[in-house]
């Protein structure tokens, strides 16, 4: 039993580790992005922007929304190119029932989804305007300052897109539950950036991040961070992309060595070898549960050292 307990559990965690610390899913702060079936063009651009800033993004096609367990996500993004034909009250309520922060994008996805819920930031009572800039209503709000400090000129007008865009939502009056963060500069009654009850946020821009200015990208990351803050370790780990190939190399080494050890373990595993197996397991678990690439790499090195000590104690030769 010691042989099975000591090695097979470690192997299971290594299989999980391959999935958890690859470049797509290595970070903390899981974001579900809902997009139309067969259309991932805009979704992929948001995914790339978010992953470059430390998030793990799961793309969910509309056909899978009803059966998706959103409880594992930190926030849900409603894609800008989902439409009124995609959403209905029952489906919107099902997504909403998980209690996660929800960010609605664009005059299609955001408006339609929130409209089906009957929220105040929902379906516009008038048409939306076109612009690439907003008037910042409250420059002191966290969304304009964390983690990126948005440079706001005395005019309070910031440019978010390189070309005109669909941005506005018309509200005849501002409900108490809605905080207006940004106002369309061309129409004082259109609000492309609003927050309701700190759980629902409307980013009223339709276009993809590929057409955002640096300010636009920074502000969008601030918006997501406000709704689903990253753990501090994930934020610090994000710039160290160079550690990814090194970490993956050490992962392969650990896998190879453990497979060899499993093949050569005696039926009665010595206690000192079992202790090393348990220690290796602990380091693998640590690497498996972190979003910090550097820390994961160091834990894999410790697990590899345990494997090397086991080889010496058993007098076997295993490749690394």
What are the boundaries of each domain within the chain? Answer: 2-20+241-314, 30-230
Q: Which residue has the higher pLDDT, 220 or 23?
A: 220
Other residues' Cβ atoms within 10 Å of the Cβ of residue 259: 15
Element (H, E) at 134: strand 133-136
Question: If one looks up domain 30-230 in CATH, what number appears?
Answer: 3.40.50.880
Concatenated DSSP letters of 255-315: HHHHHHHHHH--SS--HHHHHHHHHHHHHHHHHHH---HHHHHHHHHHHHHHHHHHHHHHT
Tens of pLDDT, residue by residue over 215-228, are 999 999 999 999 99
pLDDT at 268: 85
Specify the range with the lowest mean pLDDT, choosing from 6-10, 42-46, 47-51, 185-189: 6-10
Burial 293-302 (b: 16+ CB within 10 A, else e): bebbbbbbbb
- Pick the residue with more confidence: 33 or 234? 33
CA distances in angstroms from 283 to 26, 118, 208, 233, listed in the order given: 16, 49, 40, 17
Pairing assessment for the beta strands 133-136 and 157-159 based on DSSP bridges: antiparallel
CA angle at residue 40 from 125 to 71, to 5 degrees?
A: 75
Q: For residues 74-83, b (16+ Cβ closer than 10 Å) or e, as one string?
A: bbbbbbbbbe
pLDDT tens-digit readout, 47-95: 999 998 889 899 999 999 999 999 889 999 998 878 767 888 899 999 9
Q: What's the mean per-residue pLDDT of the chain?
A: 77
């Amino acid at each position: 039993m010691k042989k099975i307990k000591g090695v097979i559990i470690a192997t299971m965690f290594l299989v999980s580790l391959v999935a958890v610390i690859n470049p797509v899913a290595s970070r903390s702060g899981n974001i579900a992005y809902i997009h139309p079936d067969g259309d991932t063009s805009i979704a992929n651009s948001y995914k790339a922007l978010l992953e470059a800033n430390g998030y793990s993004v799961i793309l969910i096609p509309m056909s899978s929304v009803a059966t998706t367990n959103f409880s594992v996500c930190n926030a849900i993004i409603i894609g800008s190119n989902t439409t009124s034909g995609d959403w209905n009250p029952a489906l919107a309520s099902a997504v909403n029932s998980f209690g996660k922060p929800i960010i609605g994008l664009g005059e299609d996805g955001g408006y339609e989804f929130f409209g089906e819920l009957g929220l105040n930031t929902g379906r516009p009572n008038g048409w939306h305007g076109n612009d690439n800039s907003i008037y910042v209503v409250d420059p002191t709000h966290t969304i304009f300052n964390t983690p990126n400090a948005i440079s706001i000129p005395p005019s309070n007008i910031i440019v978010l897109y390189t070309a005109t865009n669909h941005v506005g939502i018309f509200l005849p009056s501002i409900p108490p539950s809605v905080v207006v963060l940004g106002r369309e500069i061309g129409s004082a009654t259109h609000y492309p950036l609003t927050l309701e009850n700190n759980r629902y946020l409307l980013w009223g821009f339709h276009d993809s991040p590929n057409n955002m200015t640096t300010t636009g990208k920074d502000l969008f990351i601030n918006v997501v961070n406000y709704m689903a803050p990253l753990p501090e370790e994930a934020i610090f780990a994000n710039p160290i992309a160079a550690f990814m190939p090194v970490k993956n190399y050490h992962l392969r080494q650990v896998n190879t060595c453990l497979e060899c050890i499993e093949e050569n373990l005696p039926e009665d595993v010595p206690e000192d070898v079992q202790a090393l197996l348990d220690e290796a397991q602990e380091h693998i678990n640590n690497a498996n549960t972190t979003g910090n690439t550097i820390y994961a790499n160091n834990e894999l090195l410790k697990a590899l050292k345990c494997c090397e000590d086991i080889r010496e104690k058993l007098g076997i030769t295993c490749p690394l």
